[in-house]
Amino acid sequence: MTDSALLFVWAEVGPDASADEFNDWYDNEHGPLRLTVPGFKNAIRYKATDDKTPSWLALYDLDSPSVFTSEPYKGLAGKASDREKALVPRLAVLNRAVYQKISEQTKPGLPADALPTKYVFVVNNTVPPEVEDEYNRWYDEEHIPDVAKVPGWHRARRFKLVGQPAELTGKKDPSIKEEYNYLCLHYFDRDDYRTLPEFIASIQTPAMKKIGPSLTAINLRRFVIHKDIQKPE
């Protein structure tokens, strides 16, 4: 486990707001304001390429999980605009969770400007305590090296949930399971990776078939980058 952390935010606009309204607020107000908080390193938003909901994802790299409980971050609530106060309750989903980084593997020789990639594959797992050690060894030592053979793969980052997720709209979306305690983000430069023989082989190994039934929940999602948000000047 490392000190680095991730703020992971699902979002779904729903019928009571428009996508244009939501994206203007997130891209130009909500996201940039968070980058003014010490410890926030970046903010990247993604749009789903599959047919599932939530349709939107935001990822914020943090220096540590403590950034999320810092006074500057908590002080953002008092800076919320009238637009934000009116919009958030109308959204169908705005669900945030904090994860602590476990490990990272990157394609050797990858140029610095190759990240972030255009596509990200999100894997949420619920792992019972009695299989965590075996699961972590398999994921880091076998599964990621297998996925790394897929053309277009650039990086994988693994995280473990810290605390409990929070739904900011006051609503409950059954597609978001609070018990997902592990997260892996696979970064690709192409969207057809899941159809390639190397990817199919990586999810059909004997170890995968052994570990898979012990996981009590699995969520697989595909996203394309929407905006790499910049810190306001």
What is the structure's pLDDT at 106?
Answer: 98
Helix (H) or strand (E) holding 229: strand 217-229
Q: Which amino acid is at 158?
A: R
Nearest to 135 by CA among 53, 37, 210: 210
What is the structure's pLDDT at 172?
Answer: 81
Give the count of alpha carbons within 13 A of 22, CB side only. 23
Per-residue confidence in pLDDT tens, the chain, 233 aa = 788 999 999 999 999 999 999 999 999 999 999 999 999 999 999 999 999 999 999 999 999 999 999 999 999 999 999 999 999 999 999 999 999 999 999 999 999 899 999 999 999 999 999 999 999 999 999 999 999 999 999 999 999 999 999 999 988 877 776 679 999 999 999 999 999 999 999 999 999 999 999 999 999 999 999 999 999 87
Helix residue spans in the chain (DSSP H) = 19-25, 31-34, 71-74, 82-87, 132-138, 144-147, 197-202, 206-211
Which token pair is 96?
Answer: 């945030």
Report the predicted TM-score, pTM, of the whole model to 2 decimal places. Answer: 0.96
Question: What's the residue count for the chain?
Answer: 233
Q: Which of the 8 DSSP states describes residue 172? A: -
What is the structure's pLDDT at 198?
Answer: 99
d(CA 37, CA 66): 12
What is the structure's pLDDT at 179?
Answer: 77
What torsion, rounded to 10 degrees, do the Cα atoms 224, 147, 200, 174 define?
-50
The pairing of strands 217-229 and 119-126 is: antiparallel
Tell me the DSSP string of 108-150. TT--GGG-S-SEEEEEEEE--GGGHHHHHHHIIIIIHHHHTTS
All residues at 6 or more sequence positions from 196 whose CB lies less than 8 Å from its CB, including other chains = 150, 151, 152
All residues at 6 or more sequence positions from 107 whose CB lies less than 8 Å from its CB, including other chains = 148, 153, 154, 155
What is the structure's pLDDT at 100?
Answer: 98
What domains lie within the chain, and their CATH numbers?
A: 5-229 (3.30.70.100)
